[in-house]
Amino acid sequence: MFSPDNIFTTTIDKAVRWSRTQSMWPVTFGLACCAIEMMAAGSAKYDLARYGMEVFRASPRQADLMIVAGRVSQKMAPVLRQVYDQMAEPKWVIAMGACSSTGGMFNNYALVQGVDHIVPVDIYVPGCPPGPQSLMHGILTLHEKIMEGEINR
């Protein structure tokens, strides 16, 4: 519908992109230690509501963003993929923490060495655990990426 370099729709492109960034609803996908930091980011002091994202949706159908917070085990991997598949387009993924980005310090039989083996990841947030500020930085980077990127992904 919108082709990227369409001269007639540049303004509306911008509007669409902007609106996508302003209230991204994350799906609750807390797995381990990082999930606690994600919850801390959502609560009083750091307050994700400033970006319109305080509502962590329990249903993947209502969410745009999956923050994979924590280590993904081999047993969890199919579940994660299923939740991702249920999310409606457009959707983004943030891999929060060393574990979900690369497997972290647990290079062993039980863990998936990075969620990018299962789902496409847009932003990697480093840290073990990344503090709420890091997560917010990741979210803002994602916003930038959306504002600059293509509209039909």
Partner 1 sequence: MSFEEINVEINQYFKTVEGFKKDGYEMMIDLTAVDWYRKKEPRFEVIVNLLSVSKNSRLIINVNVPDEDLKIPSICEIYPGANFYEREVFDMFGIEFENHPELTRILMPDDWKGNPLRKDYGSGRIPVQFKNAPKVD
Partner 2 sequence: MNEEKDLKDDLDFWATNSEEGGWNISSTDEGSQKMLEEEDEKQIKIQTGSDVVDDYVYSEETTDDERMIVNMGPQHPSTHGVLRLQVELEGEVVRRVKPVIGYLHTGMEKTGEELAYFQGPTNTTRMDYLSPLFNELVFSLTTEKLLDIEVPERAKAIRILMTELNRVSSHLVALATGGMDIGALSMMIFGFRERELILNFFEKTSGLRMNHNYIRPGGVAADLPDNWQKDVKEILKIIPEKLKDYDEMLLDNPIWQGRLKNVGILTTEECFAYGITGPSLRASGFSWDLRKRQPYSGIENYDFEVPLLTDSDVFSRWRIKVLEIYESLKIVEQTMDTIPKGAYRIQDKKVTPPPRQRLDESMEALIHHFKIYTEGFKVPPGKAYVAVESPRGELGCYIVSDGSSKPYRMHIRGPSFCNLQALPVIMADSPIADAVAAIASLDPVIGDVDR
Residues at the site binding partner 2, with contacts judged by CB under 8 A:
28-33, 35-37, 39-40, 43-45, 56, 58, 70-71, 73, 75-76, 79, 83, 105-111, 128-129, 131
Which of these segments, 2-10, 98-106, 111-119, 143-151, binds ligand SF4 (CB under 6 A)?
Answer: 98-106
Q: Which does 45 bind (CB under 5 to 8 A by kind): partner 2, ligand SF4, partner 1, none?
A: partner 2
Q: Is 117 helix (H, G, I), strand (E, B) or coil?
A: helix
Query: Cβ-count burial of 39 within 10 angstroms (0-12 exposed, 13-18 middle, 19+ buried)?
Result: middle
Q: Is 65 helix (H, G, I), strand (E, B) or coil?
A: strand
Binding mask 68-87 for ligand SF4 (x = CB under 6 A): --xx----------------
Sheet containing 123-125, strands listed edge to edge, beginning at the edge strand earlier in sequence: 26-27, 65-69, 92-96, 123-125
Restricting to residues 83-102, name those near partner 1 by CB under 8 A. 102
